[in-house]
Amino acid sequence: MANTAKKGRILLTGATGLVGRALMAALTNRGYGVNALSRNKQHSMLPDVRFFQWDVFANNIDRGCLDGVTAVIHLAGENIAALPWSNKRKRLIRDSRIQSILLLYELIREQKEHGVAAIVSASASGYYGNRGNEWMTEDKPPAADFLGQTCGDWEHAVGEGRKLGLRTVSLRSGVVLSADGGIFPKFADFIKKGLGTVPGTGRQWMPWIHVTDAVTMYIFALEHNGIHGIYNMAAPADITFSQFVRTIAEELKKNLWLPNIPQFVLKAVMGQMSEMLLSSTRMSAEKIQNAGFQFRYPEIKAAIGSLTPGL
């Protein structure tokens, strides 16, 4: 495949995920080539996208994935919402994030002539846990629960790249809203069927970001050398879970008939995974805004309105 990339190549992990697919397209549209790492053989119709295989748990990686690469965007990790959190599942969630970045650093350390200058990694709002009405700025400590400790260890592992002379960035993402997957189409489908309801009290704060802004923020962090360390990835307009569900219902012109789902029911059905719906996390976007980032969808109504036509 001819290399027509104008801005160099980016190594992208998690390229087949919800954000990864959108980011891969955005990078190529912006003039980057993409080397994408995947567990399975993949082919792309996008220009200047090359797929490489790796197996994190077998410690195997195609060494050619670093060819021509100037930066890494690291999104790889097991889906935290895919299955109940058994002990085995929790190990997979944690190790898939941490072992993968350590495997990449091992490869970078071995390839003395690499051109990698920066690592931009995902993290998650689960770092903060259930913090009520308190504003979460990036200097807060992690929650003492599974997600908090996992995110904290993940960010620490990413930060080890500084010892290799790399600029490292971790973006703590709120709930990514997209018509192509994730939480939004699930709730919209329930509401369209007359089964819409609110988990828990509905008063818990839900950090969120439109997929377009998430993709743009990754590219912003990639292209601005002054961006380093930890940043929250959440829209500046904070909302409760009740506001989220009711905004979808308003856009779909549907009523919510059912009562809220009690916390004990969610915990009985979902176990620890219910924390994702019940935790109250109010994230500040001030740091990334002060760095110059501008949100296309800072308000939830416009964000939901942009997504409902795609359902």
Q: Is 253 part of a structural domain of the chain?
A: no
Q: In this structure, how many other beta carbons lie within 10 angstroms of the beta carbon of residue 221? A: 24
Q: Is 306 part of a structural domain of the chain?
A: no
Q: Is 307 part of a structural domain of the chain?
A: no
Provide the mean pLDDT of the chain. Answer: 91
Q: Is 242 part of a structural domain of the chain?
A: no
Task: Collect all residues with Cβ–Cβ distance below 8 Å to 148 and sequence separation of at least 6.
Answer: 126, 127, 128, 129, 142
* pLDDT tens-digit readout, 63-84: 999 999 999 999 998 887 766 7
Instruction: Say what the pLDDT of residue 35 is.
Output: 96
Q: Is 214 part of a structural domain of the chain?
A: yes
Q: How far is CA 69 from the centre of its chain?
A: 22
Among the ranges given (35-44, 50-59, 150-159), the one the predictor scored with the smallest mean pLDDT? 35-44
Helix-strand-coil split of the chain, %, nearest 5: 40, 20, 40
Q: Cα(first)–Cα(last) distance of the chain, in Å?
A: 35
Q: Is 2 part of a structural domain of the chain?
A: no
Number of domains, the chain? 1
For the whole model, what pTM was predicted?
0.94
Q: In this structure, how many other beta carbons lie within 10 angstroms of the beta carbon of residue 184? A: 25
Q: Is 122 part of a structural domain of the chain?
A: yes
User: Is the confidence at residue 128, as pLDDT, over 70?
Assistant: yes
Percent of the chain with pLDDT over 90: 73
Task: In whole angstroms, give the CA distance from residue 282 to residue 233.
Answer: 12
Q: Which pLDDT band holds residue 269 (cuts at 50, 70, 90)?
A: low
The number of residues making up the chain comes to 311
Task: Specify the CATH number for the domain of residue 290.
Answer: 3.40.50.720
* pLDDT tens-digit readout, 96-116: 999 999 999 999 999 988 999
Which whole number is the average pLDDT over 28-51? 87
Q: Is 304 part of a structural domain of the chain?
A: no
Task: Collect all residues with Cβ–Cβ distance below 8 Å to 78 and sequence separation of at least 6.
Answer: 89, 92, 93, 96, 97
Percent of the chain with pLDDT over 70: 93
Q: Which pLDDT band holds residue 228 (cuts at 50, 70, 90)?
A: very high
Question: Which domain, by its residues, includes 98?
Answer: 9-175+209-234+282-295
What is each CA distance from 258 to 129, 190, 261, in whole angstroms? Answer: 27, 11, 9
Instruction: Say what the pLDDT of residue 259 is.
Output: 74
